[in-house]
Amino acid sequence: SAIFNFQSLLTVILLLICTCAYIRSLAPSLLDRNKTGLLGIFWKCARIGERKSPYVAVCCVVMAFSILFLQ
């Protein structure tokens, strides 16, 4: 059902990016061995979370504010 609601889709994508970056910080070899294919999506999300972390953090704060106070 998150596909049909744009805000829910953005929330799922942000959670995926943050989760993958956190998992990669704990166990880098878990995501590094799957850089291509279907599981490569998780590696790419981890790279986005690491390299764009200030932007991802701002997006997470804005999303949390909008979920808590605007809905």
By the 10 Å C-beta count (0-12 exposed, 13-18 middle, 19+ buried), 59 is classed as: middle
pLDDT digit string (tens) for 44-63? 999 999 899 889 989 999 99
Residue pair 2/8 in contact by the 8 Å Cβ criterion:
yes
Q: What is the pTM of this model?
A: 0.82
For tokens 């979370």, the residue is 49
**Can you tell me the distance from the alpha carbon of 56 to that of 62, in angstroms, rounded to the nearest whole number?**
10
Average pLDDT over every residue of 1-26: 86
Are 18 and 56 within 8 A, CB to CB? yes
> Average of pLDDT values for 3-24?
88
